[in-house]
């Protein structure tokens, strides 16, 4: 079996869905194709505003709710003008969404739980519409509820996969569907606890869903269809002359995703690497072009510097109030707080008297962090920074990227240069 994943941008309009369906039709095989789909366009961002307990809850809820409805009904009507059935299915999903928004307790404590129950409707809506559309096009498609087999713990918004149960459920699914349909269509990003509550795997988690399915099915390959021609050496938003990398070793892809390359979700590679399953990144805009492949290669090809830019960074310098050294005891306290607050450190450096960390500048979280650290430490910070990571750097490449900006912090290994500079 092969696994395909289509993200929000590939299904953000009726035309996009037609294009996606054509790609699926061109790749039908004897065994069903497993197709993982995200929410349409920016639906997840919109749904986030409807979550009881979020700061935006109630502010423009009716407007947002209407937008959501019009958008999905419009796409469904354009694709299947005569289908009452698909509109009825949308009715049911929206009624359930409204019930949740009206009854879930709107407080911060329940926020993560509420988030998953509400936001999952993006994927439920998109797959419901697309499965009906594929069937209307004569492609025998089975809609599968991912919450029944991607089983996680109750770590809402960041569900951790229970691999044993998930493997069992997916094996059962495989036996049931092996030759019984052409396409199995399912939601990315969402899962369920063993006792039936909806969970999500973290933003942009649909790639991870595709990897979990591929791992458990022992799939032949995974293909992620994107709006870029493949794995580029930099995000084209930041960089004019990008180079497509044709082959990427698994470990390199893991490193790049870890440093913040947004082309794939960081958790995606490991499950497929463990089973030696190749991962292809291809363009849904030019579906006949070759794309990139992540697999068992020794080096990237072609060999070229790779750039990862992270904007909106804050650099915190943490100094013990009692003038003690930054040693294991102090570090333990600092990391304990970071861990509790779920703040990921993008870069760190310590000296005798201070410990510096570079993190994403989420003002709310950083405010709490500084408040918590204040009891034992003095904290200084610099905002509006950019973290640049360059793999396979040369001095010339570094100089041209830094472009004369002051460097606040720099770390260099044999393969990787990391720099913090003011945003341009
Ligand atoms: N719809 C989810 C998000 O926007 C998951 C995904 O697209 O991968 O984060
Ligand atoms: Mg997405």
CATH number at residue 45: 3.40.1160.10
Q: Which two tokens stand for residue 193?
A: 């606890």
Using CA atoms, how far apart are residues 317 and 80, in angstroms rounded to an integer? 58
Q: How far is the CA of 122 from the centre of ligand 2 (A)?
A: 11
State the pLDDT at residue 135: 98
Element (H, E) at 419: strand 416-422
219: nearest Cα among 173, 251, 181: 173
Q: How far is the CA of 43 from the centre of ligand 1 (A)?
A: 9
State the pLDDT at residue 424: 83
Query: Which ligand has the minimum distance to the alpha carbon of residue 203?
Result: 1
Is the Cβ atom of 7 under 6 angstroms away from ligand 1?
yes
Is the Cβ atom of 114 under 6 angstroms away from ligand 1?
no
Same domain flag for 53 and 200: yes
Burial 328-340 (b: 16+ CB within 10 A, else e): eebeebbeebbee
State the pLDDT at residue 240: 85
Query: Which ligand has the minimum distance to the alpha carbon of residue 10?
Result: 2
State the pLDDT at residue 58: 83
Same domain flag for 317 and 206: no
Same domain flag for 56 and 196: yes
Q: Which two tokens stand for residue 204?
A: 């942009």
The residue contributing the CA closest to ligand 1 atom 3 is 204
Find tokens 């039908």 and name the residue. Answer: 28
Is-contact 387 345, C-beta < 8 A?
no
Is the Cβ atom of 44 under 6 angstroms away from ligand 1?
yes
Q: Which two tokens stand for residue 17?
A: 């869905």
State the pLDDT at residue 330: 92
Contacts of 302 (CB under 8 A, 6+ apart): 243, 245, 246
Using CA atoms, how far apart are residues 12 and 166, in angstroms rounded to an integer? 29
The residue contributing the CA closest to ligand 1 atom 2 is 204
State the pLDDT at residue 402: 94
303 phi, psi to nearest 5 deg: -80, 120
Is the Cβ atom of 79 under 6 angstroms away from ligand 1?
no
State the pLDDT at residue 33: 97
Is the Cβ atom of 197 under 6 angstroms away from ligand 1?
no
Could you tell me which residues are beta bridge partners of residue 320? 377
Residue 288 lies in a domain: no
State the pLDDT at residue 239: 84
CATH number at residue 379: 3.30.2130.10
Residue 149 lies in a domain: yes
Is the Cβ atom of 271 under 6 angstroms away from ligand 1?
no
Question: What's the pTM?
Answer: 0.92
Cis amide leading into 302 (omega within 30): yes
End-of-domain residue from the set 181, 204, 226: 226
pLDDT tens sequence for the chain (424 residues): 999 999 999 999 999 999 999 999 999 999 999 999 999 999 999 999 999 999 888 888 889 999 999 999 999 999 999 999 999 999 999 999 999 999 999 998 999 999 999 999 999 999 999 999 999 999 999 999 999 999 999 999 999 999 999 999 999 999 999 889 999 999 999 999 999 999 999 999 999 999 999 999 999 999 999 999 999 999 988 888 899 999 999 999 999 998 988 888 989 999 999 999 999 999 999 999 999 999 999 999 999 999 999 999 999 999 999 888 888 999 999 999 999 998 999 999 999 889 999 999 999 899 999 999 999 999 999 999 999 999 999 999 999 999 999 999 999 999 999 999 999 8
Contacts of 51 (CB under 8 A, 6+ apart): 57, 111, 114, 115, 118, 119
Could you tell me which residues are beta bridge partners of residue 293? 247, 280
Element (H, E) at 6: strand 2-6
Is the Cβ atom of 38 under 6 angstroms away from ligand 1?
yes
Pairing of strands 279-283, 221-226: parallel
Pairing of strands 355-360, 141-144: unpaired
Same domain flag for 222 and 314: no
State the pLDDT at residue 91: 97
Residue 258 lies in a domain: no
State the pLDDT at residue 57: 84
Q: Which two tokens stand for residue 93?
A: 């999903």
Is the Cβ atom of 203 under 6 angstroms away from ligand 1?
yes
End-of-domain residue from the set 198, 226, 254: 226
Find tokens 């310098």 and name the residue. Answer: 317
State the pLDDT at residue 319: 95
Query: Which ligand has the minimum distance to the alpha carbon of residue 226?
Result: 2
Best mutation site among 5, 8, 40, 188 for ligand 1 pocket (most ligand atoms within 8 Å of CB): 8
End-of-domain residue from the set 211, 226, 241: 226
Number of structural domains in the chain: 2
Residue 20 lies in a domain: yes
Residue 250 lies in a domain: no
Mapped onto helix, strand or coil, the DSSP state of residue 351 is coil
Same domain flag for 18 and 146: yes
**Domain hosting residue 102, numbered range:** 2-226
């Amino acid at each position: 079996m092969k696994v395909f994943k289509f993200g929000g941008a590939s299904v953000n309009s009726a035309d996009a869905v037609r294009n996606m369906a054509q790609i699926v039709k061109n790749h039908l095989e004897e065994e069903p194709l497993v197709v993982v789909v995200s929410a349409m366009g920016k639906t997840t961002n919109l749904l986030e505003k409807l979550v009881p307990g979020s700061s935006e809850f109630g502010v423009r809820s009716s407007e947002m709710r209407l937008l959501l409805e019009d958008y999905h009904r419009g796409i469904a009507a354009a694709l299947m003008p005569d289908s009452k059935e698909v509109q009825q299915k949308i009715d049911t999903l929206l009624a359930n969404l409204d019930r949740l928004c009206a009854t879930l307790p709107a407080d911060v404590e329940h926020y993560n739980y509420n988030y998953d129950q509400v936001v999952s409707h993006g994927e439920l809506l998109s797959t419901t519409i697309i499965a009906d559309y594929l069937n209307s096009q004569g492609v025998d498609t089975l809609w599968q509820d991912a919450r029944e087999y991607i089983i996680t713990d109750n770590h809402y918004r960041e569900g951790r996969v229970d691999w044993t149960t998930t493997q069992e459920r997916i094996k059962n699914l495989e036996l049931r569907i092996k030759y019984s349909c052409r396409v199995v269509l399912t939601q990315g990003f969402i899962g369920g606890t063993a006792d039936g509550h909806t969970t999500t795997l973290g933003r942009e988690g649909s790639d991870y869903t595709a990897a979990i399915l591929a791992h458990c099915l022992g799939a032949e390959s995974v293909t992620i269809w994107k709006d870029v021609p493949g794995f580029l050496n930099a995000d084209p938003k930041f960089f004019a002359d990008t180079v497509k990398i044709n082959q990427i070793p698994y470990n390199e892809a893991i490193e790049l995703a870890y440093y913040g390359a947004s082309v794939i979700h960081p958790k995606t590679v490991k499950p497929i690497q463990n089973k030696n399953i190749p991962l292809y990144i291809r363009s849904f805009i030019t579906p006949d072009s070759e794309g990139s492949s992540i697999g068992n290669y020794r080096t990237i090809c072609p060999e070229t510097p790779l750039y990862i830019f992270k904007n909106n960074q804050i650099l915190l310098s943490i100094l013990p109030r009692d003038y003690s050294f930054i040693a294991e005891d102090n570090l333990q306290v600092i990391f304990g707080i970071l861990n509790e607050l779920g703040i990921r450190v993008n870069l760190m450096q310590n000296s005798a008297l201070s410990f510096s960390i570079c993190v994403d500048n989420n003002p709310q979280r950083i405010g709490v962090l500084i408040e918590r650290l204040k009891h034992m430490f003095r904290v200084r910070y610099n905002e509006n920074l950019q973290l640049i990571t360059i793999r396979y750097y040369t001095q010339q490449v570094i100089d041209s990227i830094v472009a004369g900006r002051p460097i606040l912090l720099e770390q260099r290994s044999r393969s990787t240069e990391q720099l913090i500079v003011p945003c341009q």
